[in-house]
Chain A
Amino acid sequence: MQIRHVDAGSCNGCEVEIGSAFGPVYDAERYGARLVASPRHADALLVTGPVTRNMLEPLRRTYDAVPGPKVVVAVGDCARNCGVFAGAYGVAGAVRDVIPVDVEVAGCPPRPEAITEALRKLTGR
């Protein structure tokens, strides 16, 4: 499973946890999940943060750029329902308002175990 991470407007808390999930302690890569540098190489998108107005169009385009079949994972409370940023002037909505979401990971930020668990559901290992 090749994963492209998209920061749609996150506070970077979720990024720290994703980094930890792929770090030496949790090492999500041993379950077959790999972070890649381009949506053209990806099977899945890992989206963090509420979708800000600036990232609305880039997120849609990134989704379009991923070859099918594809999966979207929304990581963190902001990605699920805008979290503490709900109703803010720069926020366009949650990730599911913009692109179809397949897996959601709760938490502010979610623990690395939760992220790894969600990824293991995708990879099936």
Chain B
Amino acid sequence: MNPIGAALGGAAAVGLLAAVVAVVVPQRVRAWAAGVGTAVCGAAGLTAGIYALSGTTFFLTLPALLPLSGVTITVDALGGVFLAVTGAVAVAAGVYGIGYARHGGDGRVVQAVFPLFVVAMLLVVCAASVGTFLVCWELMALFSLLLVVAEHKRRPEVAEAGRWYAVMTHLGMVAILAGLLVLAAHAAGDSFPALRDAGRHLPPAVAAVVFVVTLAGFGSKAGILPLHAWLPRAHPEAPSPVSALMSAAMVNLGVYGIVRVGFDLLGGGPRWWWVVVLALGAVSAVYGILQAAMSTDLKRLLGYSTTENMGLVLVGVGAAGMFASGGNRVLAGLALAAALLHVVNHSAFKTVLFLSAGSVLHGTGSRDLDALGGLRTSMPATTAAFGLGALAASALPPGTAFVSEWLLLQALIHGLPASGTITAIAMPLAVAAVALTAGLAVATFVKAFGVGFLARPRSDAAENAQESPASMLIGMGIAGAACVGLALLPGLVLPAIGSVAGRVVDSSSPMLADAVTVQLVGVAGSLSPLMLTIALVVAIMLVIGVVRAVAARRARRAARLWDCGAGPMSARMEYTATSFAEPLQRVFDNVLQPETDVDVTHTRESSYLVEAVQYRRQVPDRIERRLYRPVLALVAVWGSIGRRLASGSVHRYLGYGFYTVCGLLILLVVTR
């Protein structure tokens, strides 16, 4: 039997079984059932993905399972990348979920939906017909929605986040549905091979409509501007293992959709499609990391960072499309490989970050960076995990993101000699955007780690923090190990990813990689992260050794910390997340447009004497203010006009029904 089929069947069976068991068994063991089920499900998905990457393919048609269209499943190498990533994230999140459920959220529905969400995500990348794809996509959206609103009874913000997510994910679904249906209408059937045949011979206008509409749908799932508004709301409010699954696995499927439709089904397309993708990606990356740098909510910060990283991935995808349409297949393969590697890397470090943020929430009850601090002593394992994730996210060696962003920059820089005015303008701007993003990411994660985990506790909750249970630490450990592995030995995954990227753009693999060194093909460039790390460690050791040796020669005098001569310094004197980000906020004042509000209350006796001063400052999401508020206001106006129709009179309602039937009959008479 085909190993992929066995693994996928096992994943689906285990997921369904875990869901049933989680509903049936008592509360005590419910989290165990769901967590182990999810982890096994993820492991099966990972296995299937690895087999798919190694060249095995799998076809399955179940005509009777779904009425009208049936279920068609195909696993190829491109799907294999996303299968493996989703599976690996689910393993870590599942193990972590066992301990996290004690924090709350061990309700019957939530625990049952958890493994089902993973199964739905695994099936999305296996779907090989429009019907199957849309059903799996919708299942994924619904299951994730149920998980997002898990804590809605305890916190009212969750319900609001859930509403945003529900509306935006379904609008995205409508866009994807419309786009794929237009494509299917020009094809012989709704299976992907039929669409692939039709996609090459579509009229350009129809192909453009299909691409732009599906790009909007998939982009909203990936958290790309300006459709990102749900992401920084839903990710913080969801339980942390769910945040990890959504941020590290689900948003990737938006990228999968863009690559699948753009490259595979439509066969590339003209250059302007990919210029749009590149521009959206670059803007999302810079805007996302800028908002993350301003956030004081730990999980909101990570949510915006997801927008940033998906933006970087789309820069790679867009560059790949531009190169491919210009005929430069080798560079296209390199850019797409960089994008796919960044998907993998982002999943690894975002899992660690969200899981450790959840551990902080579990241990302190707070995710407000301004109220945290000093967790290093009380939660050492969580601090280590978050530090590892922050380093990996910072695009500095020896971090994980460094390798993929290096590859991306290589592709963009070598794209400069490629012909065309648009390329000559777009590539330097993209390089600048990637560089700015990388710099801001360092500032953001220094803030998150330094303010949140080092220094002194800023609140009682942070002072009395408790380290999380073992299962949560194991979950973080699995993801952390993946981060370290990907950072030091990217050669283990790069050949597979390179050959996938090469196949998607009809070229050979853009890189050669042994265990230590990555060598680019077609352009000059090689990188050895392991050697780089060793050199870095040796250099640091050397500097420390020299400083120690010099210092040992002179007598040292221990003096207390200078605190201006007044008593011990309190936690209120520390840098907060807000104050740390303030210089950056000043620099980007015109983009961010922070809102400050000062209320001065005077005493009753005299307006010259001040009784109280209230200062409020917030950095709102400007796109949300400018774009969404007017639309929402318009919808509200429309709704209130529509309400006039519903006056409460039964006679009127009966009249509506009567006139509607009459109108329909007249319409039928006229048209027939």
Contact = CB atoms under 8 A, between A and B. Distances in A.
A59 interface: yes
A40 B562 CA distance: 8
B62 interface: no
B557 A62 contact: no
A57 B562 contact: no
For chain A, the bracket of interface size reads 10 to 19
A38 B565 CA distance: 11
A68 to B, nearest CB: 7
B560 interface: yes
Contact of B557 (A38, A57, A61, A68): A68
Nearest to A40: B562
Contacts of B566: 58
B559 interface: yes
A39 interface: yes
A58 B559 CA distance: 14
Contacts of B562: 38-40, 65
Nearest to B565: A58
Interface string B570-601: 00000000000000000000000000000000
Interface string B539-572: 0000000000000000001011011111000000
A29 B564 CA distance: 25
Nearest to B564: A58
A65 B558 CA distance: 10
A96 B517 CA distance: 68
A40 B559 CA distance: 11
Contacts of A97: none
Contact of A59 (B557, B563, B564, B565): B565
A113 interface: no
A57 B563 CA distance: 12
Interface in A51-76: 57-59, 61-62, 64-65, 68
A62 B560 CA distance: 10
Q: Is the interface of B mostly helix, strand, loop or mixed?
A: loop
B314 to A, nearest CB: 49
Nearest to A65: B562
A39 B559 CA distance: 12
A2 to B, nearest CB: 15
Contacts of B557: 68
A40 B564 CA distance: 10
A68 B557 CA distance: 9
A65 B559 CA distance: 7
B115 to A, nearest CB: 59
Contacts of B565: 57-59, 61-62, 65
Q: Choose among A40, A59, A65 the residue with the greatest number of B CB atoms under 10 Å from its CB.
A: A65
Nearest to B563: A61
A65 B562 CA distance: 6
Contacts of B560: 61, 64-65
Q: Choose among B557, B560, B562, B566 the residue with the greatest number of A CB atoms under 10 Å from its CB.
A: B562
Interface in A66-110: 68
A112 to B, nearest CB: 27
Q: Choose among B560, B565, B566 the residue with the greatest number of A CB atoms under 10 Å from its CB.
A: B565
A9 B455 CA distance: 34
A40 B565 CA distance: 12
A58 B560 CA distance: 12
A36 to B, nearest CB: 13
Contacts of A40: 562
Contacts of A68: 557
Q: Choose among B559, B560, B563 the residue with the greatest number of A CB atoms under 10 Å from its CB.
A: B559
Nearest to B558: A64
B555 to A, nearest CB: 10
Contacts of A38: 562
Contacts of B559: 64-65
A58 B562 CA distance: 10
A59 B562 CA distance: 12
Interface string B439-466: 0000000000000000000000000000
Interface string A1-38: 00000000000000000000000000000000000001
A38 B564 CA distance: 8
Contacts of A58: 564-566
Nearest to B561: A65
Interface string B415-447: 000000000000000000000000000000000
Nearest to B567: A57
A22 to B, nearest CB: 22
Contacts of A39: 562
Contacts of B564: 58
Nearest to A38: B562
B482 to A, nearest CB: 44
Q: Choose among B560, B564, B566 the residue with the greatest number of A CB atoms under 10 Å from its CB.
A: B564
A18 to B, nearest CB: 19
A59 B560 CA distance: 14
19 contacts: A38-B562, A39-B562, A40-B562, A57-B565, A58-B564, A58-B565, A58-B566, A59-B565, A61-B560, A61-B563, A61-B565, A62-B565, A64-B559, A64-B560, A65-B559, A65-B560, A65-B562, A65-B565, A68-B557
Interface of A: 38-40, 57-59, 61-62, 64-65, 68
Given A57-B565, A58-B565, A65-B559, 11 more contacts: A39-B562, A40-B562, A58-B566, A61-B560, A61-B563, A61-B565, A62-B565, A64-B559, A65-B562, A65-B565, A68-B557
Interface of B: 557, 559-560, 562-566
Q: Closest 3 interchain pairs by CB?
A: A58-B565, A61-B565, A65-B562
